[in-house]
Amino acid sequence: MQRIFRTCIAPLALALCAIGAHAQEAAQYYRGKTLTFVVGFAVANGYDSYSRAVARHIGKHLPGNPQAVVQNMQGAASIIAANHIYNIAPKDGTVLGMVDQAMALTQVLGSPQLRADVTRFNWIGRISDNASVLYAWHTAPVQNIKEAFDKELIVSSPGENSRILFTFMQNQLGVKFRILTGYKGPNEARLAMEQGEVHGMAQPFPVLRSEKPDWLRDRKVNLLLQVAVDAHADLKGVPVVTDLARNDEEKMLIELVAGNSRIGRALLSPPGQPHERIADLRKAFMATMEDEGFKGDIAKLGLDLNPMSGEELQRFVTKSADIAPDLAARLRKLTGHKE
């Protein structure tokens, strides 16, 4: 009996020793270091708010409890940040980043500016999917999405994600959008809407609900369409973009273009890092998602929380970027991509 007991306990003891040794090594590695969160957007943007919330808490869930700082690196719809993380940032487990959720689609469309392969990033985890909504000012000529097939709706597009989707809806579905770009961010775009320069825009619904609750309360805006593939629980009665599909093929195309809403607000890290560093970051990320302080911060910001593990996210991003060349060429045409 003693021999059997020793035979059973030995492998367990070895495994526990290995775990303990790794934790000690990781603590020594991260102690005194600083995590840098590279955010491809301006301060107070939704991407920035999510990143800062994670940065405030993730260090306590990593061995050695490193501090964290946020570096905003906006430009080219966050392609500048993506290129930096991929090609320049240290590959040592000290850099995390958040870029536009449409980066996989941007790669499929063949953007010459993008010097990265999204499938080779180490995806750490998703904080929440993106329940984005297209809304219009109450005086706009379009009061619901059906009217946008007959009347022109001037929409602002401060980001690449909305430009791609609006152009696709215009070319494939026949929605009468006039798309205005050049706005530096959602605040500038919302001001343009208030001043009558544009009729509407798209934003994550939690951000709109948090930053402009009076617009919703006083019916200053009409919610026209959920520009995501998954319906939001608080947007009952607002059609989802896939509802506009007239056949199975159109639904498939819409899901390819709008499917990046499932990537949402997600963290990544440079390629080419030691496996154990990525494992530590992913474990710390998921622990942060359960952290009461973090969840309290998200609640105060009025943002959604719908996490996805890094492993699952990695698989989804890889699948999103794996599109046949002929279909990618068709999408380039429909989204107005310039070679």
275-289 helix and 310-321 helix, angle to the nearest 10 degrees:
110
| pLDDT-derived band at 16, boundaries 50, 70, 90 | very low
| pLDDT-derived band at 81, boundaries 50, 70, 90 | very high
Task: Give pLDDT, residue 1.
Answer: 56
What count of other Cβ atoms lies within 10 Å of the Cβ of residue 318? 14
Q: Indicate left, alpha or beta for 46 from its phi (over 0: left) and psi (-120 to 50: alpha).
A: alpha
Domain ranges of the chain: 20-129+263-330, 132-260
Task: Give pLDDT, residue 160.
Answer: 74
Q: Which fold would CATH assign to domain 132-260?
A: D-Maltodextrin-Binding Protein; domain 2 (3.40.190)
pTM of the model: 0.86
Rounded to whole angstroms, how far apart are CA atoms 259 and 227?
10
Q: 231: burial class by Cβ within 10 Å (0-12, 13-18, 19+)?
A: middle
In sequence order, the β-bridge partners of residue 179 are 155
Flag whether pLDDT at 10 surpasses 70: no
| pLDDT-derived band at 131, boundaries 50, 70, 90 | confident
Task: Give pLDDT, residue 6.
Answer: 56
- Residue in the structure block whose two tokens are 């474990």: 283
For 20-129+263-330, give the CATH class: alpha beta
Q: Residues 242, 246, 248, 253: is their CA dihedral positive or negative?
A: negative
Over residues 159-177, mean pLDDT: 91
Task: Give pLDDT, residue 222.
Answer: 97
- Residue in the structure block whose two tokens are 């045409």: 333
Over residues 135-158, mean pLDDT: 95
Q: What is the pLDDT of residues 203-235, one digit of tens each?
A: 999 989 989 999 999 999 999 999 999 999 999
